[in-house]
Each structure stands twice: as structure tokens, then as C-alpha cells.
A and B are shown apart, each in its own frame.
Chain A
Amino acid sequence: MINPHDSVIVRTMSRMLIPLIQLFALYVLFFGQYGPGGGFVGGVMLGTSLILGILVYGRDGVPCRAARKLMHGDGVGLIIFAGVGGICLVMGGQFLNYSSLEIPLADDARRRYLGILMTQIGVAVDIAVTAISIVFSLSPINDTEDTEPSRD
């Protein structure tokens, strides 16, 4: 059972830190094309920011409820990834061949850039959900609410 933390310092600090972590996660995600970073790292940071919220505000806090909603979208990240690949396939290129994406006003390099960015967003969403689902599986929080926790 995860109980809300009662220290004022911890609660205030995490209220300030969580948005910062999320902002930095987005920066890492979009900067991944030019420097260290990318979908995986960005996704881990997004996930961690929510995990911090769950640990500090407990199971009735906003982050935990948001995360529980998020868990229903388990496969969304992968769908974005496979969807972008599939669009490339439909548009006549190979799977994940971004240069066949028909994006208006974009040359070949730009198309590849946007294609990679979209798949990386998919990866980030997926990793974030996975990180949260690990926390849910390891803690007695019941992520579906409407079923009894099974003990076997």
C-alpha cells in the first residue's frame, strides 16, 4: 500500500519538480535528433515523473488516478510506431521508409526527420506506460480497480 507522504518539504518540492522533469523529458525527446536523447530516454523520464507523483501523493492523488487512466492505453505507443511504419508501407515504400511519407512542403531529409520524430513519440509513450505498469505490478495498488486482486 502506497500512502501519501506527509512531509511538507517533499510535497512542495515534488510539486515543483514534476513539471520540470516533464518539460526536460519533452526537450530530450525532441532534441534526440541532434544530440543524446530520444524516445527511450524521454519516455523513461515521463514515466518517472508520474512515478514520483504516485509515491508522494499516494493512491488517491491526481498522478495515480491519471496513471491508472493511462494504463488503458497500453498499446497506444506501439500503435503510433507501427502506424507510421504502416503508412510508409501503404504509401509505397518499405516498412519504416520515411522518405515515402507524403508530407506537403517537405523534402526527403525533412520527411525522414518528421518520420523518425513521430516513431520516437510512439516509443516514448510506450516506455512511459511500461515504467508505470512496472510500479503498479510491484505495488499492491490495483491498476484496474474493478477486479479483486488475485493472490495466486
Chain B
Amino acid sequence: MREHLPIIIFLIPFFSAICMPMVGAKSVRWCRPIALLAVFAMCVPAVVNLVLVLTEGETRYAFGGWPISGSTSSAPLGIEWVNDRLASIMIVALSAIASLCLIYSGPVSPRSLGRQVVLYYTLILMLITSLTGIIFAGDLFNIFVFLELAALSGYALVGVAGDRALIASFRYLILGTLGATFYLLGVVFFYATTGTLNMADLAQQLADKPDLLTNKAVIGGTTFMFIGLGIKMALFPLHGWLPGAYTRAPDAISPMLAALMTKVSLYAWVRIMFWVLGAKAEFGQVHLLTLLGIFGAIAAVVGALLALSQHDVKRMFAYGGISHVGLILIGVSQGNETAFAGSMFYLINDAAMQAGLFFIAGVAIYHHPTRTIENLSSLRNGSPWIIATLIILAMSMIGIPPTGGFFGKWHIILGAIEAQNYWAVAAIIIATILTMAYFQRLFVRIFSEPEMPADAEKVETHFALRFSIAATSIVVIAMGICSDPIIRVFRDVAQSAGLGAN
């Protein structure tokens, strides 16, 4: 039973998604409860799976009983899913954040949908399903399939609001398809040289034949895969689609996309980087990790700079997300376990933070019709807890204890000092100062306004919105307080990825 847990986690949202059109044909009102039930039901096996993996070790799932990388008798013919510590933690984060986003999406979901609401919930569940697939995937081609599936649901969901969202969605479609194409091209190059797509088998071949790494096809394939996933994770020069898509997407959707899409693509790259190419991969004297660190540093600083110059709240948070992708890449690229553990911790923490920030931006639009920073002081009419949560999330974004953001950043900086990459430390500190600056702008607007007119109406925030916003702030603080055991698990993960103290 135990080894079937990954597929059970996957089948819950998948089955609900494909049953949705039939249920919807009977009655539209059932769609939302079913979607909610599916994500809640997904959380249970995800947590059980995490506990089992932590106590009893990883498992690998062979679809259809075909031989996979672990079997000695023959080459890995079948589709393989890897259920190791990193994947199981990511799955718990995914299902928890997806549940929060779905709870939140109730009151703010687009009104003009009519009967199309059936398709809307089908797409949301399909998005969650495919992200599960990316996290578990144990071969390169499966990552492509699920990446494409997630992106297709994403394009449609961004465009749901109609009007200007359609333009943003079309832009996202063009760039996202380009990214997927590049990724597939890279996979084909790998397949042509090694004859296998299974990650573990590929890693074995690359370890056995070191001259493969100087092969032009492998170098080209890696480059293409990185560019493809770089577009998906919105790494700085390739981020063009992200701000528009997240700003124009319906308020119910942007938290989910912001929290999950880029992070899972980043996770896919981490998988390929450390579990296929190996941490010490070098291409023609250039250490691959050093290159990644430079990209990350540029993205972290420029993303924060761009965020500083925005007027639209959602757009500002979107650029903040771009900056944080850079930050995580810096941590991943330091080549030691401290920074790796810190950045994986930060990745999960960032997913919660991004979800929370977009929740608040959505509340600002829904209850106090304002999109711009200039009018944000109207948030003071609402529940004081909204602003309190914004302060907690800002603390985490900047990196002030006891929030999770601090501990992630702290370990990344420690790792960078350990690796003696002082420019990386400098980049992180500059990005932090810039983050502080753009939150400063936000808070100055909120608090410096003169007293509200006494006749200003108090706005009661909807319960679902309050609940999900409070939950993210609790998660961020809890991540900070429990950071020690989580980071210890990630240190073990880093050691299994070949990043041990050497």
C-alpha cells in the first residue's frame, strides 16, 4: 500500500477534475465543494507520505510494473516516479497552499463565468494535478508533459477575466510555449546522445562516462533545458510574461499561479541540476553552478529594483517574486549543503509568502476597490488584521526573525560565506535593502495618510479571505519557529544530492 501513495495523491485531483464536467452538467453549485474536497483529501495522503518517507526512506514507483532504474535485470523501460524527501516535502507544501488558495478563491472568483464555472474548476484541479506530476516525475520527458499541462491550464486561467487579461494570457502563451519547446529540444539532445530519459539512468551514464559532459550535444541540451525552465521560472531576462499575467489574472487565480508555477519549475531545474548533471558539472572550464549564481544574483537585484518602480500593487509583488527566484538560485548554486538547505527552505517559505501577498492584493481590489499603491490607505477601513498580516509577510520578505524568510536567507548567506562568494552575499544584501525600500513605499502610503474621515464605512472582510490570509501569516511564522528541524531534513537532502562536506 505504502508505495502506491504518490499515485493516490495524484489521482485524487485528477479524478475530481475529469468528473467535474459531468457533475457540472447536473448542477453548477456542486463544482466548488468538489474542488475543495479534492484538495483537502489530497492533503491527507501527502502528510502520511511525508511521515513515511522521513521515517522509512524513499520509494520509487514503477508505472505498469515495467522495470525502472532500481531494477537490476534490465534497462529502465517504464515511467518512474521518485518519492524522496524533497519531493514529499514539496507535495505537502503544494497541497497545503493549493487548499488555502481554493478557500480564498470563493468570494473573489470571477462573476461573469455562468456555466463556464465548471471548466474553471476543472482547470484549477488540472493545474494542481500537473504540478504534482512535475514534482514526482523521475524522467525528463514526463517533466515536459506535466510542465505543458500545467502551462496550458495556466494560460486559460489567466485569460478567464477577459478583456486585458486576454492580451497578458496570449503573451504568456507565446513565451510559455517557447519555454516548453526549448526544454523539449534539450531533452531530445540528451536522448540522442545517451539513449535514455530516465533521470537516475542518465546520472549513472554521465558518471560512468565523464567525457559525455564535454559532448556538444549534452552541453547544448543542458543550455536549452535551462533556458526553457528559465522562462517557466521567470528568471530575470526571461521574465517578460510574468508581471502582466499575474497582474491581469483574476484575483482568485494569481495567488495560486504566483505561489506554485515558478517555484515548481525551479524545483524541476534543481532536480535536473543535482540529480542528473551532478553538483560538480563543468562545461569547458566553466563551473555550471558559478554560472547559475551569476544569473541568480542579477535576477535578485534587478527584480527588486523593478519592483521598486511599480505603481500597481499586484505588479509590485510579481516583481518581488522574480527577485526571490534569483535569491533561491543564488542559494542553490553555492555548492554546499548549508546554502542548498537554506534555499529549499526559502522556496517553500516563498510559496507561502507569495500566496499571502497576492491574497492581500486581492482583498484590496475586492473590498476597497484599489489596485495602486497611492490608494492603499483605504485598507485601513478594513480589518486591522489584514495590515498586520501584511506587516508579517513584509518582515518575512525582508528577512526579519522570527519569520521563515529570515532563516532561509540566513542559511543562504552563511553558505555563500562558506563558499567565499562574497559577491553573492553582496547581491543578497542589496536585494534585501531594495525589498525593504519597496515595502517602505507601501507602508508610507498606508500609514502616512491623515486620519480617515469619521464617516468612512468600515468594511467587513469576508470570512474565507480572512481565514486564508491569517493562515499564510501563521505558516510563515511557524516556518520560522520550526526552521531548525526542516533545515536539518534539507541538509540530508543536500547530502544525498552530492553536496556533502567535502
Number of interface residues of B (CB under 8 A): 24
Rounded to whole angstroms, the CA-CA distance of A94 and B65 in the bound complex is 6
Residues of B within 8 A of A93 (CB): 65
Asked if A131 is at the interface of the complex by the 8 Å CB criterion, the answer is no
**Contact between A95 and B112 (Cβ–Cβ < 8 Å)?**
no
Contacts A72-B22, A73-B22: A94 and B14 contacting too (C-beta < 8 A)?
Answer: no
Structural contact, B15 and A82, CB atoms closer than 8 A = yes
Interface residues in chain A, defined as those with a beta carbon under 8 Å from any beta carbon in chain B = 72-76, 78-79, 82, 86, 89, 93-100, 144, 146-148, 150, 152
**Contact across chains for A79 and B19 when beta carbons are under 8 A apart:** yes
CA distance A93 to B65 in the complex (A): 7
Q: Which residue of B lies closest to A75 (CB)?
A: B18
B17 neighbours in A (Cβ, 8 Å): 75
User: Would you call B20 an interface residue if the criterion is a C-beta within 8 Å of the partner chain's C-beta atoms?
Assistant: yes
Bound state CA distance, A18 and B17, in angstroms? Answer: 32
A68, chain B: closest CB distance, angstroms: 12
The answer to whether A94 and B4 have CB atoms under 8 Å apart is: yes
Residues of the A chain whose Cβ atoms lie less than 8 Å from the Cβ of B8 = 89
- Judging by beta carbons under 8 Å apart, are A99 and B65 in contact? yes
Given contacts A82-B15, A82-B18, A150-B112, contact A97 B7 (CB under 8 A): no
| Interface: B162 (CB within 8 A) | yes
Residues of B within 8 A of A100 (CB): 65
Contact A152-B162, Cβ < 8 Å, known A75-B20, A82-B18: yes
Q: Is the interface of B mostly helix, strand, loop or mixed?
A: helix
Residues of chain A lying within 8 A (CB to CB) of residue B21: 72-75
Task: Decide: A152 and B4 in contact? CB cutoff 8 A.
Answer: no
Which residues of chain B come closer than 8 Å to A99, judged between CB atoms? Answer: 65
- Min C-beta distance of A108 to chain B, whole Å: 11
Q: How far is the CB of A112 from chain B (nearest CB, A)?
A: 9
Q: Which residues of B contact A76 (CB under 8 A)?
A: 22
Cβ-closest chain A residue relative to B15: A82
Q: How many residue pairs, one in A and one in B, have C-beta atoms under 8 Å apart?
A: 60
How distant is the Cα of A99 from the Cα of B18 in the complex, in angstroms? 25
| Interface majority SS (helix, strand, loop, mixed), chain A | loop
Residue of B nearest to A73 (CB): B22
Q: Provide the residues of chain B in CB contact with A97, threshold 8 Å.
A: 63-65
Q: Does B390 contact A (CB under 8 A)?
A: no
B115 within 8 A of A: yes
A80 to chain B, nearest CB (A): 10
Contact B63 A79 (CB under 8 A): no
Are A75's CB and B162's CB within 8 A? no
Task: List residues of chain B with CB within 8 A of the CB of A95.
Answer: 4, 7, 11, 61, 63-64
CB nearest neighbor in A for B7: A95
A125 to chain B, nearest CB (A): 12
Residues of A within 8 A of B14 (CB): 82
Give every chain B residue within 8 A of A74 (Cβ-Cβ). Answer: 21-22
Shortest 10 CB-CB contacts between residues of A and residues of B:
A75-B18, A74-B21, A97-B65, A152-B162, A78-B18, A96-B64, A72-B25, A95-B7, A97-B64, A94-B65
Among B14-46, those with CB < 8 Å from A are: 14-15, 17-22, 25
Q: List 20 A-B contacts (CB under 8 A).
A: A72-B25, A74-B22, A75-B21, A76-B22, A79-B18, A82-B11, A82-B15, A86-B11, A89-B7, A94-B61, A95-B11, A95-B61, A96-B64, A97-B65, A100-B65, A144-B115, A146-B115, A148-B114, A150-B116, A152-B163
**A147 surroundings in chain B (CB, below 8 A):** 114-115
Q: Is the CB of B114 within 8 A of A150?
A: yes
With A95-B63, A95-B64 given, is the CB distance from A89 to B114 under 8 Å? no
Q: Which residues of B contact A72 (CB under 8 A)?
A: 21-22, 25
Given contacts A79-B15, A95-B63, A97-B63, 6 further A-B contacts (CB under 8 A): A75-B21, A75-B22, A147-B114, A148-B114, A150-B112, A150-B116
Contacts of A79 in B (CB 8 A): 15, 18-19
Residues of chain A contacted by B115 (CB below 8 angstroms): 144, 146-147
Q: Determine the distance from Cα of A94 to Cα of B114 in the docked complex, in whole angstroms.
A: 40
How far is B21's CA from A100's CA once the two chains are assembled, in angstroms? Answer: 30
